[in-house]
Amino acid sequence: MPYDLIVIGSGPGGYSAAIRAAQYGLKTAIIEKDPKLGGTCLHVGCIPTKALLQTAEVWDHFLHPEAQGIHCQNPALDMPLVMSRKDSIVSKHAKGVDGLMKKNKIEVFKGFGRLKGGGQVEVIGQNGSQTLEAESVILATGSEARMLPGLTPDETILTNVEILRLQYVPKSLLIIGAGAVGVEFGSIFKRFGSEVTIFEMLPRLVPVEDEDVSRELERSFKKQGIRSETGAKVLEVNRTSEGISLKVQLSNGNVQEFSGEKLLVAVGRKPNTENIGLENTKVQLDRGFVKVNANQETAEPGVYAIGDIVAGTPQLAHVATAEGMVAVADIAGKPYKPINRNRIPGATYTEPGIGSVGLTERQAKEAGYNVKVGKFPFLANSKASIIGNHDGFVKVVADAKYGEILGVHIIGPHGYELIAEAVAAMEAEATVETMMATIHAHPTLYEAVGEAFNGVYGLTINA
């Protein structure tokens, strides 16, 4: 019997869409090419990386216990045990996704899903192929790491996949790319004990963030001993007996060689849109990404796309999930709000952490706003003193005329958590005045957010 919906891909966007469809009473199936459900985010992305970042934070406390009035002699980092902990977290949540499929009566097909047109989807598995039919299809096939031309991942040249398998801490780690993946792994392995050097072709680290945030991260990384070379072009990559050698043209025009034991290539991700049968449909692509309308539907009626393969939205797990909710609501005839690009939170789990939403100061000015900025340093926050983490600030970008909140940018302790208040405020169309009147508990880190809103009008109390 035909399905109401077939979802191709079981990452956060795919499995969440399938669950919501089942909740709406749609007969739903999900297709996954990998042995386990959960996609890149769960198995080789968000979850295992953040598990390592948590261990790195704890390890840092063991290395500097005197800051808490504690003496700790001869602490040891057991890397195989660290990786085992990470794997157990992934395994637990993979089983959780399996359980959710059973709970919601979603049929799971293991194999490679390929569109045949006319509502038909071929599933190519180990035991041959079969064809399913559905009224609607959601493409949630995700993305994979881009690799530099001529290079192949192995035990020395790594992507986000291979680096998560390391059973020891390399003496030195070279990283090409200073987006979220590059700076997060740099933050992890520096604290684990590696000598870390990051190369970024663009003028600054985390180039999608506000310029003040980029400068603060570079300053903090320098203090931690992480070398950052921005405006740097990698000219050659060569294997050596010790590992890897890079020839790099630096921002001043000089060419310099760098050697390391391992190389992480973190230059972005490419959408998985090849060989999925798009030629059998009217689906349109933009540089490999699928073009969709406001309800996530493609040019092929009944075929939707969400997540990393979608043109025009950031490749983030929570974006995929939100887009899945929109697509399923449209399919089921339920009300929904289309994705608002300026309401999507960004989160980078470095130390210090980064959280952001909305326009940067430069973007707001370029859009023609009369901008007012409020800024508050964590140095003046009591809770930051208590936890011994003072780096960073909260920055609010606002419209001077109406007090509209245009963007909020945080770098500092748990910045990726603190951004939640700003996202909710902007979604509710709260003004700066509303947030100034919002009572913030004391002592908390999120008091700094309230102070930054007061700072728009020069009314901070503690700085």
Phi then psi for residue 132, to 5 deg, are -105, 160
Where are the extended beta strands (E) located within 20-153?
28-32, 107-110, 112-117, 120-125, 128-139, 143-145
Cα→Cα distances 249→225, 233, 235, 257, Å: 21, 5, 7, 9
142 in Cβ contact with 309 (< 8 Å): yes
CB-side neighbour CA atoms (13 Å) of 213 = 33
CB neighbours (10 Å) of residue 4?
A: 17
Q: How far apart are CA 374 and CA 366, in angstroms?
A: 18
In a domain, 116, yes or no: yes
Q: Is residue 439 located within the same domain as residue 360? A: yes
Residue 100 has pLDDT above 90, yes or no: yes
* pLDDT over 70 percentage in the chain: 100
Domain boundary among 267, 301, 321: 267
Residue 20 has pLDDT above 90, yes or no: yes
Task: Give the pLDDT score at 29.
Answer: 98
Residue 319 has pLDDT above 90, yes or no: yes
In a domain, 195, yes or no: yes
Residue 442 pLDDT level (bands cut at 50, 70, 90):
very high
53 in Cβ contact with 187 (< 8 Å): yes
Q: Is residue 34 located within the same domain as residue 51? A: yes
Q: Is residue 240 located within the same domain as residue 362? A: no
Task: Give the pLDDT score at 126.
Answer: 87
Q: What mean pLDDT comes out for the span 137-162? A: 97
Domain boundary among 218, 247, 267: 267
Q: Is residue 262 located within the same domain as residue 283? A: no
Q: What share of the chain is helix, strand, coil (3-state, %, to 5)?
A: 35, 25, 35
| Mean pLDDT across the chain | 97
Beta strand 269-271 with 371-377 is unpaired
* pLDDT over 90 percentage in the chain: 98
Domain boundary among 267, 299, 315: 267
Q: Is the dihedral of CA 32, 38, 43, 44 positive or negative?
A: positive
Domain hosting residue 20, numbered range: 3-143+270-339
In a domain, 463, yes or no: no
Q: How far apart are CA 403 and CA 456, in angstroms?
A: 9
Q: Is residue 25 located within the same domain as residue 76? A: yes
Where are the extended beta strands (E) located within 314-352?
346-348
Residue 214 sits in a domain of what CATH number? 3.50.50.60
Q: Is residue 291 located within the same domain as residue 392? A: no
Annotated catalytic residues are: 442
In a domain, 114, yes or no: yes
Q: Is residue 205 located within the same domain as residue 229? A: yes
Q: Is residue 11 located within the same domain as residue 138? A: yes
Q: What mean pLDDT comes out for the span 334-352? A: 97
Q: Is residue 132 located within the same domain as residue 29? A: yes
Residue 357 sits in a domain of what CATH number? 3.30.390.30
Quote the number of domains for the chain. Answer: 3
Q: Is residue 206 located within the same domain as residue 129? A: no
Q: Is residue 322 located within the same domain as residue 379? A: no
Q: Which residues contact 257 (CB under 8 A, 6 or more apart)?
A: 245, 246, 247, 248
pLDDT in tens, 382-398: 999 999 999 999 999 99
Q: Is residue 293 located within the same domain as residue 402? A: no
Phi then psi for residue 288, to 5 deg, are 90, -15
